[in-house]
Structure 1
Amino acid sequence: MQCDYFDAGVCRSCTLMGVEYDAQLAGKVAHAESLLSPWADAMWLPPMTSRPEAFRNKAKMVVGGTVDAPTLGILDGDRRGVDLRGCGVLAEGLRAALPPIAAFITLARLEPYDVPARRGELKNVLLTESPDGRLMLRFVLRSTESLARIRKHLPALLDALPQLAVVSVNLLPEHKAVLEGEVEVPLTADESLAMRLDDVVLHLRPGSFFQTNTDVAADLYHQARAWVDELAPASVWDLYCGVGGFALHVAGPGRRVLGIETSAPAVESARLSAAEAGLADVAFEVGDATAVGGADAPDAVIVNPPRRGLGPELCATLEASSVGAVVYSSCNAVSLARDLAAMPSLRPRRIRVFDMFPQTEHYEVMVLLERVS
């Protein structure tokens, strides 16, 4: 893939830009194989590939420039805005929506936040696209000062972008390097974006986690479903379940599924999806993933932790439990290898790399572990 921004040196976020895709993929597989070499008897399945461009379903754009000439992209070394509206890894629907959003910033007089001066209101624009082309838009603001103007001019934006399903304002009053704050103000009747993946519909609320690459996320869910169906467990727990992607995909007749997640809004979304699908044996709870274990431990567990991995406590809990199998989906093979070493009774049987993030060194890897006596 060729990128004018990368060639000009204005954005180097895609560290593998210009490297042939096959070489990128081979490097990721080699990296995973090196880290997971202590489990040499595991079967490696062929890597799951991605489109090398236009694969990202979300745009996290820092707002810079001025009210009359806003930039949507990143900040340079001097903390000034660099416009990246033509970024080639963004889905086409996202790129097409960015110019009308920039025009709305001018119309509603949303002053971009000046990081060096600590002045201004609009910090970030967060945009997500569903598989059917619907959009969720979030304006990250310093305060509610411009909220009335956004509401006043919102009809014009909805006319310009009829695919907008969810619009909200997120409040981030602090001066710190994060994308969003804790307070969300809905501006549309719909507060969740429906993400349809074949026979499963996930409801994504503002701030909820969903994989960056929709096609590869579907591949992840399908692989987990295939492995779980093969094992045929009567009970499954999905830890770090988010909006319920894995839990809803592995649900089936006679199988009890429980998803556990710390985010209450994500759990609410997952419950809505389960109810719409009529899945009476699927439940979701707000709680700590380390609660698994004891006499009520399930037959199988799915884990999809953040980059830091499961950590010593949960690894020890799983190791000491009666759980017979674990499907581990990881975005960091370094922490994955550390966690696997901490659970010697759960032996990796199959491993597969999923290229969730083309043009970068990052990837997902999924491992099927089964308990050995």
Structure 2
Amino acid sequence: MRCGYFDAGTCRSCTLLERPYPAQVAGKQQHVRTLLGDPPDLHWLPPVTSTEAGFRNKAKMVVGGTVDAPTLGILDADGHGVDLQGCPLYPPALTAALAPLAAFVTRARIEPYDVPARRGELKHVLVTVSPDDELMVRLVLRSTEALARIRKHLPWLQDALPGLVVASVNVQPAHAAVLEGPDEIVLTAHDTLRMRVNHLDLHLRTRSFFQTSTDVAAALYRQAAAWTDELAPASVWDLYCGVGGFALHLAAPGRHVLGVETSAEAVVGARRSAADAGLVDVRFEAGDATAAALGASTPPDLVVVNPPRRGIGPELAGWLEASGVEHVLYSSCHAGSLARDLAAMPSLRPRRAQLLDMFPHTSHYEVLTHLART
């Protein structure tokens, strides 16, 4: 993939861009095999690759510049805006939304936040696109000062972006490197974006996490479902379940599935998805994954864990080791924490694994590992 921003030195976020894509994937495969110790009884499936461009379903654009000439992109070393509206990582429907959004900043007179001066209102524009080219747009503001103007001019934005389904304002008053704040104001009739993944519609609410690449996420869920159907567990827990991607894909007649997630927003979306799909043996609870496991009277047959980069941690790893759970599917976005967690669960040995390149042109990747009790 060629990128004019990279060639000009304007943006260097894609640190591996100068390497041919097959070499990127091979390097990641070698990296994860080395971290996991490459045991001889671990079977590696062929890696899942991505398209080299247009794969990201979400843009997190820092807003800079001025009201009359806003930039959507990143900040330079001095904290000033660098416009990246032409970034090739985004699919056409998302890219096409950026110019109207920049025009909306001007029309609604929303002053971009000036980081060095600590003044202004609009910090970020967050845009998510579905496989059906529908959009969710979130404006991260320092306060609600511009809210009335945003509401006034929202019909103009809806006309400019016919695919706009969900629009909201998030309030983040702190001058800190924290993307969003605790308060969300939904401005549209719809409060969820429908993400069509394989045979399911996942309902993504404003503050819910979803995988970066919809196509690679679909492959991830298909592989987990295939392994689960082969193992035929009667009960499954999906810990750190997010919007329910694993739990909903692993559902089957006679199989009881429980999803646990700290984000109440994500749980609401997951429950809606289960209801839409008519899945009666799938339920979701808002809560801490470790606390849910430690507080349960009986462990399930299979546990799925999809933690953040820090991993599941020693407490949950210790519970899994002692629980008697026969099978664990561990989906990790950080192989270092995965290796650390595996060392704390010596009775659960990795049997099968697959690299999924969710983040081309960077050193990051996803890896799905099937652990079986020895």
Q: Which interval holds the TM-score relative to the shorter structure?
A: over 0.9
State the Cα distance separating 1:39 from its structure 2 match. 2.8
Pick aligned residue for 1:298 from 287, 297, 300: 300
Q: What secondary structure is seen at the aligned counterpart in 2 of 1:292?
A: helix
Partner residue of 2:373?
Answer: 371
Partner residue of 1:214?
Answer: 214
Q: What secondary structure is seen at the aligned counterpart in 2 of 1:335?
A: helix
Pick aligned residue for 1:341 from 326, 340, 343: 343
**Distance in 1 of aligned mates of 2:53 and 2:132:** 18
**Distance in 2 of aligned mates of 1:364 and 1:104:** 36
**Distance in 2 of aligned mates of 1:168 and 1:116:** 26
State the Cα distance separating 1:322 from its structure 2 match. 1.8
**Distance in 2 of aligned mates of 1:256 and 1:172:** 39
Partner residue of 1:354?
Answer: 356
Q: What secondary structure is seen at the aligned counterpart in 1 of 2:82?
A: strand
For residues 48-83 of structure 1, the C-alpha deviation after alignment (integer angstroms, 9 at most, x for no partner) is 010011100000000000000000000000000000
For residues 317-371 of structure 1, the C-alpha deviation after alignment (integer angstroms, 9 at most, x for no partner) is 0000021100000000000011111101111000110000001110000100011
State the Cα distance separating 1:191 from its structure 2 match. 0.4
State the Cα distance separating 1:306 from its structure 2 match. 0.3
For residues 135-186 of structure 1, the C-alpha deviation after alignment (integer angstroms, 9 at most, x for no partner) is 0000000111100000000000000001000000000011001211110001
Partner residue of 2:310?
Answer: 308
**Distance in 2 of aligned mates of 1:351 and 1:275:** 32
**Count of aligned pairs:** 372
For residues 204-229 of structure 1, the C-alpha deviation after alignment (integer angstroms, 9 at most, x for no partner) is 01110000000000000000000000
**Distance in 2 of aligned mates of 1:13 and 1:24:** 15
Partner residue of 2:227?
Answer: 227
Cα RMSD of the aligned pairs, angstroms, is: 0.8
State the Cα distance separating 1:288 from its structure 2 match. 1.5
Q: What secondary structure is seen at the aligned counterpart in 1 of 2:167?
A: strand
**Distance in 2 of aligned mates of 1:38 and 1:52:** 28
TM superposition score normalised by structure 1 = 0.99
For structure 2, which runs of at least 5 residues remain unmatched after alignment?
none
State the Cα distance separating 1:90 from its structure 2 match. 1.2
Partner residue of 1:172?
Answer: 172
**Distance in 2 of aligned mates of 1:114 and 1:295:** 53
Partner residue of 2:89?
Answer: 89
For residues 238-279 of structure 1, the C-alpha deviation after alignment (integer angstroms, 9 at most, x for no partner) is 000001000000000000000001111111111111111111
The residue identity in structure 2 corresponding to 1:361 is S
Matches within 5 A, 1:142-291: 142-290=142-290, 291=292
4+ runs deviating over 2 angstroms = none
**Distance in 2 of aligned mates of 1:343 and 1:182:** 35
**Distance in 2 of aligned mates of 1:179 and 1:288:** 22
Partner residue of 2:113?
Answer: 113
Q: What secondary structure is seen at the aligned counterpart in 2 of 1:274?
A: helix
Question: Does structure 1 residue 17 correspond to structure 2 residue 17?
Answer: yes
State the Cα distance separating 1:40 from its structure 2 match. 2.8
The residue identity in structure 2 corresponding to 1:349 is R
The residue identity in structure 2 corresponding to 1:292 is A
Partner residue of 1:331?
Answer: 333
Partner residue of 2:3?
Answer: 3
Q: What secondary structure is seen at the aligned counterpart in 2 of 1:120?
A: coil
**Distance in 1 of aligned mates of 2:18 and 2:130:** 28
TM superposition score normalised by structure 2 = 0.98
Question: Does structure 1 residue 28 correspond to structure 2 residue 28?
Answer: yes
Q: What secondary structure is seen at the aligned counterpart in 1 of 2:173?
A: coil
Mean CA deviation greater in 86-95 or 130-139: 86-95
Q: What secondary structure is seen at the aligned counterpart in 2 of 1:225?
A: helix
The residue identity in structure 1 corresponding to 2:308 is P
Partner residue of 2:320?
Answer: 318
The residue identity in structure 2 corresponding to 1:200 is L
What is the aligned-residue identity percentage? Answer: 68
State the Cα distance separating 1:198 from its structure 2 match. 2.3
The residue identity in structure 1 corresponding to 2:346 is P
State the Cα distance separating 1:18 from its structure 2 match. 2.0
State the Cα distance separating 1:38 from its structure 2 match. 5.2
State the Cα distance separating 1:295 from its structure 2 match. 4.0
Q: What secondary structure is seen at the aligned counterpart in 2 of 1:367?
A: strand
For structure 1, which runs of at least 5 residues remain unmatched after alignment?
none
